[in-house]
Structure 1
Amino acid sequence: MDRRELADFLRSRRERITPADVGLPTGPRRRTPGLRREEAAQLAFISTEYYTRLEQARGPHPSREVLAGLARALRLTDAERDHLHHLAGVPPGPPPGPSREVRQSILDLLHRLPQAAAIVVSAMHEVIAWNDLAAALMEDFSAVPRRDRNLVRRVFLGPHPEGRRLYGVSDADEFARRAAQDLRATAARYPDDPELTQLVAELLAGSEEFTGLWDSHDVATAPTFRKTFQHPSVGPVTVNCDVLDLSDRDQRVVIYTATPGSPSEGALRLLSVIGTQRMDTTP
C-alpha cells in the first residue's frame, strides 16, 4: 500500500468534482475547489475521520468495500478505479457493474453521423448516449427519467397496456426475446451489481413472459439487421441496423441508416429538420 500516492490521488480526484456534479448545494463560502472531505466521505459511506486519515497518508488498509465506495463517490473511470486498487495494495476485481461512461470519441462519433440515428446502450440495455436524429426517431431521451431509458424494462413493463410498443418498432417481440437472453449473460458478468439485481427482480415480478424467457437459460440469439419504426409524424421508417461492440466498456453503438434513395431516407431527412417536435398534435 502506497499511502502517500493514495492520499495524493484521492485529493486530486476529490478536488475535480464540484458539488453540483453530485447534487450538493454550492454555498457561498467554499475554500476548496471541489468537494469537502466530509462530503466525499458521506458519498462513500465512510466516516469523515477515516477519509481524512486516508488523505493524510496515515489511514488503515482499505477494504474492497471502502474502495468501491470511494470509486463511486469520486466518479472514477474504470482505469482510475484499477489505479486506486493498486495504490491501496488490493488487486482490482471485475467491475462492480456495467459501465455507463461513454468515451468522448464515441460521443463525437454520434454527432458526426447527421444522416444516421445512433445510440449507445450499456450492458443492461440502458440508452446512455444518443444523437439528435435518434431522439427524433425514437424518443427525446433527455426528457425522460434515467430508469425509463432502459429498453428491457420498457419492452416488458412499458406504459402501453394494449400491447408491446417499443417506439413502434417492427421487431419488438424479437427484441424482447433477445434482450432477456442477453440480460442473463450480463447478470452472470456482474453478479454483485445491485442495480442489475433490482432490474431482474422487477422484471421477474412484473412479467410472466420475461420469467419464461429467463428460466429458459438461453443466452444467445441472432441479431436483427433491418427494422421499421412507425413514427407518428413521418410514418414508417425502415432502417438498416448495425451494431458496433465496445468491448472495453461492455457497451454497444447501434446505428440506424436508411437505404439511399428510399422513402425512408427522405423520412430521416425530414426528422433531422423537425427534430423532436410532434407534427401530429392539434392545438
Structure 2
Amino acid sequence: MDRRELADFLRGRRERITPADVGLPAGPRRRTPGLRREEVAQLAYISTEYYTRLEQARGPHPSREVLAQLARALRLSDAERDHLHHLAGTPPAPPSGPSREVRQSIVDLLHRLPRAAAIVISATYEVLAWNDLAAALMEDFSALSRRDRNLVRRAFLGPHPHGRRLYGVSDGQEFAHSSVQHLRAASARYPDDPELAGLVAELQAGSEEFARLWAAHDVTARPTLCKTFDHPLVGPVAVNCDVLDITDRDQRVVIYTAVPGSPSEEALRLLSVVGTQRLDVPG
C-alpha cells in the first residue's frame, strides 16, 4: 500500500468534483475546490475521520468494499478505479460476469454508420446495442426481451421461422460452431457467473448439437469475413463482416457492409428506408 500516492490521488479526485456533480448544494461559504472530505465520506458510507486519515497518508489498509464505495463516490472511471485498488495494495477483483453496459461513444458510433448494419454483443452473444439498419436486416431487437436477444440461444433453440436458422444466414452452421467455442472461452473467464452457467445448462438440455459441440472443448474459432442474409422482404443480402473488440468491456462490435454498387448495397439502402415494417405481410 502506497499511502502517500493514495492520499494524493484521493485528494486530486475529490477536488475535481463539484457538489452539483453528485447532487449536493454548493452552499454560500465553500472555500475548498470540489467536495469537502465529509461529503466524500458521506457518499462512500464511511466515517469522516477514516477518510481524513486516508487523505493524510496515515489510514489503515482499506478493504475492497471501501475502495468500491470510494470509487463510486468520486465518480472514478474504470482505469481510475483499478489504479485506486493498486495504490491501496488490493488488486481489483475480476468481474463475476461479462459487462452488459455499452459505452455511450460506442452507441453513438453505431448510429453514425447509416449505410452499415451494426450491433454490439456481449461475451455471451447477447445483443446489447444496435442501429436501425441492423434491426431492419436482422430483427427489431427493441421488441424482444433480453433473453430473446441472445444469438446463441436463438441459433440452437430457435425460433426458426420458415426453417431458417438465425435470420437465414449462409454461415448458420459455422456460426453455431464458433459461438460454442467463444462461449466455452467465456465460461473460463467468468467461472462464477450464474447467468452464464444457466445459459450453458439450458443449451445443453435443449440441443443435442450444442451438447456435442460443448463436449469437444474447442476454443479456437475462425473469423467470418462475409455472409449472406436471406431477408424475407429484399431477398439475399451479401455483406462483409468486420468485428471490433472492445477489450475493456469484453464486448464486440459487429459491422455488416455491402460491396459498393452491388445489388446487396441497394437492398440495404431499401431496408434503411423501410426499417422494420413488414411490407411482406398483407393488410
| Structure 2 counterpart of 1:169 | 169
Q: Check whether the contact 2:44–2:66 (CA below 8 A) recurs between aligned residues.
A: no
* Partner AA of 2:279 in structure 1: M
Q: Residues 7-56 of structure 1, C-alpha deviation per residue, up to 9 Å, x if partnerless?
A: x98xx9xx979xxxxxxxxxxxxx989xxxxxxxxxxxxxxxxx985365
| Structure 2 counterpart of 1:93 | 93
- SS of the residue 1:54 aligns to: coil
Q: Report the CA distance between 1:279 and its aligned residue.
A: 0.7
- SS of the residue 2:244 aligns to: strand
Q: Report the CA distance between 1:90 and its aligned residue.
A: 3.1
Number of residue pairs the alignment of both structures matches: 251
Q: Report the CA distance between 1:248 and its aligned residue.
A: 2.4
| Structure 2 counterpart of 1:105 | 105
| Structure 2 counterpart of 1:244 | 244
- SS of the residue 1:217 aligns to: coil
- SS of the residue 2:219 aligns to: coil
Structure 1: gaps of 5 or more residues: 18-30, 34-50
CA distance in 2, matches of 1:76, 1:156: 40
* Partner AA of 1:193 in structure 2: D
Q: Report the CA distance between 1:70 and its aligned residue.
A: 10
* Partner AA of 1:176 in structure 2: A
Q: Check whether the contact 1:158–1:164 (CA below 8 A) recurs between aligned residues.
A: no
Q: Report the CA distance between 1:186 and its aligned residue.
A: 0.9
| Structure 2 counterpart of 1:126 | 126
* Partner AA of 1:261 in structure 2: G
Q: How does 1:1-283 map to 2 (within 5 A)?
A: 53-54=45-46, 78-79=78-79, 82=82, 85=85, 90-160=90-160, 163=163, 165-283=165-283
Structure 2: gaps of 5 or more residues: 26-42, 52-59
Q: Check whether the contact 1:77–1:101 (CA below 8 A) recurs between aligned residues.
A: no
Q: Residues 35-81 of structure 1, C-alpha deviation per residue, up to 9 Å, x if partnerless?
A: xxxxxxxxxxxxxxxx9853656699886589789999xx9864465
Q: Residues 142-181 of structure 1, C-alpha deviation per residue, up to 9 Å, x if partnerless?
A: 1111111111111111223875521221111110000001
CA distance in 1, matches of 2:88, 2:106: 31
Relative distance call for 1:55 and 1:191 in structure 2 (3 A) is: farther
Relative distance call for 1:275 and 1:78 in structure 2 (3 A) is: same
- SS of the residue 1:259 aligns to: coil
Q: Check whether the contact 2:44–2:69 (CA below 8 A) recurs between aligned residues.
A: no
Q: Report the CA distance between 1:262 and its aligned residue.
A: 1.2
Q: Check whether the contact 1:164–1:173 (CA below 8 A) recurs between aligned residues.
A: no
Q: Report the CA distance between 1:101 and its aligned residue.
A: 2.2
CA distance in 2, matches of 1:266, 1:258: 9
Relative distance call for 1:271 and 1:55 in structure 2 (3 A) is: farther
- SS of the residue 2:46 aligns to: helix
Q: Check whether the contact 2:241–2:256 (CA below 8 A) recurs between aligned residues.
A: yes
Q: Report the CA distance between 1:231 and its aligned residue.
A: 1.1
Q: Identity percentage over the alignment?
A: 71
Q: Check whether the contact 1:170–1:228 (CA below 8 A) recurs between aligned residues.
A: yes
Q: Check whether the contact 1:117–1:257 (CA below 8 A) recurs between aligned residues.
A: yes
TM score, norm. by length of structure 2? 0.73
* Partner AA of 1:269 in structure 2: R
Relative distance call for 1:167 and 1:146 in structure 2 (3 A) is: same
Q: Which entry has the higher C-alpha Rg, 1 or 2?
A: 2
Relative distance call for 1:173 and 1:251 in structure 2 (3 A) is: same
Over the residues paired in the alignment, what is the CA RMSD in angstroms?
3.6
CA distance in 1, matches of 2:270, 2:278: 12
